[in-house]
């Protein structure tokens, strides 16, 4: 009797992934001219520049006084997904970029787990300057920067807004909500002219302190991955 050699299914799947089998079985024409475009409209560029200048011109702000750099935003301004954290830390202050320290490394991993690249989303914070000693921004500081982050959301106009942690949640949804009840739910919200679906999840810095909560964050991440936009 001739023994048939059936391929090992796991190896077969790995192989199909490896050879990018979509290219073989998908009979849609490949558009070789359409690149992942990061070009943004003149209007959006203008509005972002104006907002940056306005923040840069803030006077009598002790956050700004103590900080080295303004941390405005990072990523693709055309993205349908915007993430908002709390405030820059020491590394962010040094580099002028959000989420580039240890919390940022975890955020990158969280995004990668749902096949998102941080360059493809847009990231900012509730306040644009690092609070001394990495303390939480005060209510007064949050109130002062709230119009800027609201305008920032309106300019980016994301379909999905991810609020990382309770500072971002309380600033943008309300001070009467708690993260344990609020996370993992979609709510619709308007920021200026931008109507968007908002989800709250744990801040990566919190997840580093409480790794047991990563399983809840994973639920939230899958909701983001599976959201039809
Ligand atoms: N934590 C934040 O909330 N934002 C950053 O940019 C970095 C750490």
Domains of the chain and any CATH numbers:
43-226 (3.40.470.10)
Residue 215: partners with Cβ closer than 8 Å, 6 or more residues away = none
3-state secondary structure of 7: coil
**What is residue 35's predicted lDDT score, i.e. its pLDDT?**
47
Per-residue pLDDT, 14: 56
Confidence class of residue 24 from pLDDT cuts 50, 70 and 90? very low
State the average pLDDT for the chain: 90
Q: Cβ < 6 Å from ligand 1: which residues? A: 85-89, 92, 98-99, 101, 103-104, 125, 205
Q: pLDDT tier at 42 (50, 70, 90 boundaries)?
A: confident
Q: What is the pLDDT of residues 43-98, one digit of tens each?
A: 999 999 999 999 999 999 999 999 999 999 999 999 999 999 999 999 999 999 99
Q: Are 93 and 134 in contact (CB under 8 A)?
A: no
Helix H or strand E segment including 123: strand 122-125
Query: Cβ contacts of residue 34 below 8 Å, gap of 6+?
Result: none
Closest atom of ligand 1 to 168 CA is: 3
Note every long-range contact of 144-150, with CB atoms under 8 Å and residues 24 or more positions apart, other chains counting: 144/58, 144/61, 146/171, 148/51, 148/54, 148/55, 149/84, 149/124, 149/125, 150/191, 150/192
Ligand 1 centre to CA of 29 (Å) is 42
> Measured in Å, how far apart are the chain's first and last C-alpha atoms?
55
Cα within 13 Å of Cα(5), Cβ side? 1
Give, for 1, the enclosing helix (H) or strand (E).
none
Q: How confident is the model at residue 9 (pLDDT cuts 50, 70, 90)?
A: low
- In this prediction, residue 28 has a pLDDT band, given cuts at 50, 70 and 90, of low
Q: Which region among 1-5, 142-146, 204-208, 213-217 has the lowest average model confidence (pLDDT)?
A: 1-5
Distance 122 CA to ligand 1 centre (A): 13
How far away, in angstroms, is 103 Cα from ligand 1 center? 7
Q: What mean pLDDT comes out for the span 205-209?
A: 98
Say if residue 189's pLDDT is above 50: yes
Decide if 171 contacts 124 (C-beta within 8 A): no
Q: What secondary structure letter does DSSP report for 120? A: G
- For 163-186, what is each residue's pLDDT tens digit? 999 999 999 999 999 999 999 999
Atom of ligand 1 nearest to the CA of 123: 6
Rounded to the nearest whole angstrom, what is the distance from the C-alpha of residue 206 to the centroid of ligand 1?
11
């Amino acid at each position: 009797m001739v023994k048939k050699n059936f391929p090992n299914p796991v190896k077969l799947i790995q192989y199909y992934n490896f050879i990018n089998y979509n290219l073989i079985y998908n009979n849609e024409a490949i558009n070789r001219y359409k690149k992942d475009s990061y070009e943004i409209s003149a209007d959006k560029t203008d509005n972002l520049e104006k907002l940056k200048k306005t923040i840069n011109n803030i006077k009598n702000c002790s956050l700004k006084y103590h900080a080295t750099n303004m941390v405005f935003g990072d990523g693709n301004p055309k993205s349908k997904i915007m993430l908002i954290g709390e405030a820059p830390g020491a590394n962010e202050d040094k580099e002028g970029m959000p989420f580039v320290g240890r919390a940022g490394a975890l955020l990158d991993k969280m995004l990668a787990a749902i096949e998102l690249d941080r360059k493809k989303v847009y990231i900012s914070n509730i306040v644009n300057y690092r609070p001394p000693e990495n303390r939480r921004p005060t209510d007064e500081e949050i109130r002062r920067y709230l119009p800027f982050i609201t305008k920032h959301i309106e300019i980016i106009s994301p379909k999905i807004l991810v609020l990382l942690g309770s500072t971002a949640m309380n600033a943008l949804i309300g001070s009467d909500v708690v993260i344990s009840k609020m996370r993992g739910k979609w709510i619709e919200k308007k920021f200026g002219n931008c109507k968007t679906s908002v989800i709250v999840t744990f801040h990566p810095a919190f997840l580093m302190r409480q790794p047991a909560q990563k399983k809840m964050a994973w639920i939230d991440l899958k909701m983001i991955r599976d959201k039809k936009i």
